[in-house]
Amino acid sequence: MGIMSSEWRGRLQHWMRTLKDDFYRPLGEISWEAFRTMDHLSREEAMNGPFEPVEPGFTWGKTWEYCWFRGKVVLPAEAQGKRIVMDLKPDGESTLFVNGQEFGTYRASWVTQKHHFVEDNVLTTDAVAGTEYEILMETYAGHYYPESPDGGCATGPVLPGAYQDPLEEGKRRTLGICTFGIWNEDAYQLWMDADTLRQLLDKLDPNSLRAAKIAEALEAFTLVVDFEQDEAGRIASYKAGREALRPALEAKNGSTMPVFYAIGNAHIDLAWLWPMAETHRKTERTFAAQLRLLEEYPEYKYIQSQPAGYEMCRKYYPELFERIKQAVKDGQWIAEGAMWVEPDTNMASGEALIRQLLYGKRYYQEEFGVDSKMLWLPDTFGYTAALPQILKSCGVEYLVTQKIFWSYNEGEQFPYHYFYWEGMDGTKISSFLPTSYTYRTDPTELMNVWENRSQKRDLDAFLLPFGYGDGGGGPARDYLEYAKREADLEGCPKVKLEGPIEFFQDMEAEGGPKHTYTGELYFSAHRGTYTSQAMVKNNNRRCELSMRDLELWGTLAAQKGQTYPAEAIERLWKEVLLHQFHDILPGSSIARVYEDAEKAFHAILEESHELTAKAVAGLVEAGNGVTVGNSLGFAYDTLVELPESFAAGAQTREGKAVPTEKIGDKVYGLTEVPAYGMVSLVPADTRTKAADSVSLTQDGDTFILENNQVKAVVDGKGEVVSFVLKTSGREFAAEPMNRFHLYKDVPRLFDAWDIDSNYIDQEITAAEDVTVTVESTGSLRSVLKVTGRISNSPFVQYIRLDADSTRLEFETAIDWKELHRLLKVGFPVNVFAENGINEMQFGYVERPTRRSRAYEKDRFEVCNHRYSALCDQAHGAAVLNDCKYGISMNGNALELTLLRAAAAPEMHADNREHHFTYGFTAWEGSFADSDVVRQGYEMNVKPVITDGVVDTFSAFGVEKDNVILESVKLAEDGSGDLILRLYEAKKAAVNTKVFTALNVAQAWTCDMLEKKEAEVAVEDNTVSLDFRAFEIKTLRLKLA
């Protein structure tokens, strides 16, 4: 027998249940009239709707539909002086308005306690008989997405015909009986007292004196409370029961109990298992409900991140937004988080991460008067090692996240909660990692969190974000009642309702972190998010690069008198950033989210291309020729398509011959494009051949692509069986390269998110019915055409080699028709490397190619940007891509992940046509000697071509190859100053000169928010800068 006998425990269970049953007594039914709509209506618009009376049992609901219900509550005499709540049964998540004001929510179905549906919907705490309340309720009909009965956002194997929508379309929801009534505050407060002690007792040492005292108090409470009498008698006994428990609740802790800084929050996924249109409503449901809790509990503090979410509230619920601003001023509502949204940080570009902070911090300052100092990023799937440097340079001092602790597939456990995170350049950021963002505040939760923490020493306090999340909602009233009782409750961690900034400041006052973790925060799960929903990855990169081009050409056009489209640039960037949210870009949302996202991407690209074309046109003059613009910070040779008028030949405007050739029915020219500049080509009477040409010959079933740099042999399967660098004669193909690998891919959890490590044991036949033919045999470019089928999916691939290039490219189109399949392409090379190199934002990260220990086994699938490489100090090889992020490095093989086909939350995800290009290159010498970084840029950033001519110019340049000029734009403050973003790309500290053709009066280094830090000497429009390895520098130029 434990500290309490079974007899007493059973008795206590009955008393606790019966107390709950006495929480609520209905006074009357709410009668409704209703109408349905597919539109997002304002409250005012809805009030004019075609309402008709409905009764309980009313069925309705098409997918994505909403129904507006209108009713009235008139308080009877019996309600006088009471706390009045509503018990609503709309059968779906709902947005509530009371007396014309945003009120809150009928919560989503994942509520853990039934009374949470009721306790927060308080009409009044001190009722006046006869008062009328007009109730307006917008209820969502919902939609279907596939998920196993076991949950886990997965299906497991899918039988034919399985996972059909179980609900009848048009009848997805049924209205229940909705009532209003009296909330028995005495019963509720007693239940909170008793449940706090009951949970604490279950966690204490049963041999302790404290456990004995609590057991005695709980037993006494059941003897005092008598339910079997009228309401007045029951309430009197409830008050007596509270007195019996009071001594146990007032017992204090000693001097060594940890302190939990508890902060209410509601993680709102801007899109996930619902479309963004539903998120618009979620902001009202969550924000209005939390404002009412703040009013009732003045000690309560609530944090809400994501300016994009605030903007949804401002657009659709402007009065509510103004109330939030006042709550921020009052100090209870904490507007923090630094970034525009909570984005994925693996795949977003470095410049995009900076813009998240630039626009996010500006919003917090302008709308709330808050200088945001903390990145609040609880649900993101891993964190780039570039982030600490970016955060510091944007004035962010702290990081809070938690997902790293998700190691449900037995991954290596992260060792710290409170630590300095040191990025790849040596910058440190003070960080705290809780293990959830949806904690409860009851004693069981607190004590489990403390007992299960990974960092056992050098940690005296813990940050506890509590409240319902993902779909919003935030804390229920229970959470605050538990926290009040736990301020200093003997045996339980102390709870302090306080914000995260205060937590960090208090921790710093005690000496700050004692530990440092260096490198990326790799997430040992959700590796499939680098690949799922390939469309969004492709369009994300295209949009990032399109914005980059727009800013450069817009900046140069502004020097010619054009108006810089600053407003449009900010608006378009914010749309790009919105779709980098951590359940959109990673590919983990329902199909509707990606239908909407694709439309948004196309709109971004259309407008940005139009604005870029206008800017480029402003840099040239009319003339018989075309101008090629290069937005990269280095010069290179490129093959460009020319008009038919160039069929006879081409030259630059200055008279330099340009090799041309007709390939098929198109004319191409091979020209050098200057760094951040333009060259104009005009027709010539004589065609010039390239000094170094490419050839394509066939020998039986093999094909040889060859130029002055490389010789590549392709077999009849479209695989590269030989790749030789002519400078050394070295063979780089250890086995056939460009070989497709197809695997069964059925994750046990999180279908769209995860790739389980056992995929490697489930390889099946990939390419079949393959034919290889010669597509073209030009001297500037030669191309093979490969056609075939991968399982049910036909594909066509063009393998091409250009003159004087070491890069073999594979332009691929596939009509993907698979389920639970993973497609990779492998490049096994003659290079031994214990670690591979994966490009990331502003540099690269080295990751293991072997699987000898847990750390290495965890990293069987990793993220890269434009390239991944294997190299030693003498030679190396790389795979490049134009829109792919997932890759595995197994021994000597680079295996780029091309496509997946998840079943949840979208069945047959990614089934559509896909277009992508990847490449292979090799070099002699160290990685620092290679041109891989530049080749990655060349493959992704295409020149702009416009009619008209201009003298050849290079607007900017950098002396050292390992320093990349990433971005050029006008300053955000409208001063006309130029902002240049540069970074060291090869882990090699260096001094370099940066020069421009523009007349510079002054120059400063500045932070990433463009605030000046130090003036830099300018000589002949050139500055000299020192870079640490992987350092990012922002340069501000004032023109003369």
In a domain, 318, yes or no: no
- Within-domain flag for 579: yes
Other Cβ atoms less than 10 A from the Cβ of 452: the count is 9
Interacting residues of 571 by C-beta distance below 8 A, sequence separation 6+: none
Rounded to whole angstroms, the Cα distance separating 12 from 591 reads: 48
Of 587, 619, 651, which marks where a domain is finished?
619
Identify whether the C-beta of residue 14 lies closer than 8 Å to the C-beta of residue 167.
no
pLDDT digits (tens, 9 = 90+) for 79-135: 999 999 999 999 999 999 999 999 999 888 888 899 999 999 999 999 999 999 999
670 occurs within a structural domain: yes
pLDDT tens readout for residues 794-852: 999 999 999 999 999 999 999 999 999 999 999 999 999 999 999 999 999 999 999 99
Q: How far is CA 927 from CA 633, 731, 813, 844, in A?
A: 20, 18, 31, 11
Flag whether 841 is in a domain: yes
Are residues 582 and 630 both part of a single domain?
no
What integer is the mean pLDDT of 985-1010?
98
Q: Tell me what pLDDT residue 409 has.
A: 87
% the chain with pLDDT above 90:
97
Tally Cβ neighbours within 10 Å of residue 655. Answer: 8
The token pair at 575 is 């749309």
Residues 664 and 711 in one domain: no
678 and 644 in a common domain: yes
Dihedral class, residue 676 (left if φ above 0, else alpha if ψ from -120 to 50, else beta)? left
Q: What is the mean pLDDT of the chain?
A: 97
Say if residue 921 is in the same domain as residue 980: no
Domain assignment present for 414: no
**What amino acid occupies position 570?**
E
Strand partners, 976: none
Contacts 24+ apart (CB under 8 A), 147-150: 147/904, 147/905, 148/904
655 and 719, same structural domain?
A: no
Which string of b and e fits 574-591 if b means at least 16 CB within 10 Å? Answer: bbbbbbbbbbbbbbbbbb
Asked if the model's pLDDT at residue 876 lies above 80, the reply is: yes
Residue 151 belongs to a domain: no
CA distances in angstroms from 72 to 135, 176, 180, 282, 804, listed in the order given: 6, 16, 10, 23, 79
Domain boundary (580, 601, 619) is at 619
Residue 255 confidence class, pLDDT cut points 50, 70, 90: very high
How far lies 275's CA from each of 18, 173, 278, 632, 891, in Å?
40, 18, 6, 37, 42
Residues sharing a CB contact under 8 Å with residue 478, sequence separation 6 or more, in sequence order: 113, 115, 116, 119, 192, 441, 442
Say if residue 590 is in the same domain as residue 628: no
CA dihedral 486, 490, 492, 495 (to 10 degrees): 30
Q: Is residue 837 part of a domain?
A: yes
How far is the C-alpha of 759 from the C-alpha of 852, rounded, in Å? 18
561 within domain boundaries = yes
Q: What is the pLDDT of residue 927?
A: 98
Q: Are residues 603 and 740 in the same domain?
A: no
- What pLDDT digit, counting tens, does each position of 656-713 carry? 999 999 988 899 999 999 999 999 999 999 998 888 899 999 999 999 999 999 999 9
Q: CATH number for the domain including 849?
A: 2.70.98.30
Mark whether 810 and 908 lie in a shared domain: yes
Identity of the amino acid at 895: E
Instruction: State which amino acid sits at residue 765.
Output: T
Relative to beta strand 461-466, strand 259-265 is: parallel
User: pLDDT of 65-82, one tens digit each?
Assistant: 999 999 999 999 999 999
| Residues facing residue 730 across a β-bridge | 725
- Indicate whether 701 and 816 sit together in one domain: yes
- Cβ neighbors of 381 (< 8 A, separation 6 or more) are 344, 346, 403, 523, 525, 526, 529, 582, 586, 753
Q: Which residue has tokens 């940066």?
A: 994
Count of the separate structural domains present in the chain: 5
Q: How confident is the model at residue 278 (pLDDT cuts 50, 70, 90)?
A: very high
Tell me if 994 sits within 8 A of 1026, measured CB to CB: no
Side chain identity at 507, as an amino acid letter? M
CATH of the domain at 988: 2.60.40.1180
pLDDT range class, residue 1, cuts 50, 70, 90: low
Question: Is residue 863 domain-shared with residue 718, that is, in the same domain?
Answer: yes
**Together in a domain, 777 and 923:** yes
- CATH code, domain carrying 550: 1.20.1270.50
Q: Are residues 823 and 708 in the same domain?
A: yes
Q: What pairs with residue 876 in β-bridges?
A: 871, 923
Task: Work out the angle between the directed axes of helices 185-203 and 231-250 (0-180°, nearest 10).
Answer: 40
- The DSSP result for 35-75, as a single string, is EEESS---HHHHHTS--EEE-TT-EE--TT-EEEEEEEEE-
CB atoms within 10 A of CB 498: 18
Q: Which domain holds residue 756?
A: 695-932
Q: What is the pTM of this model?
A: 0.98
- Domain ends where: 689, 710, 741? 689
Cα–Cα distance between 234 and 449 in angstroms, integer?
37
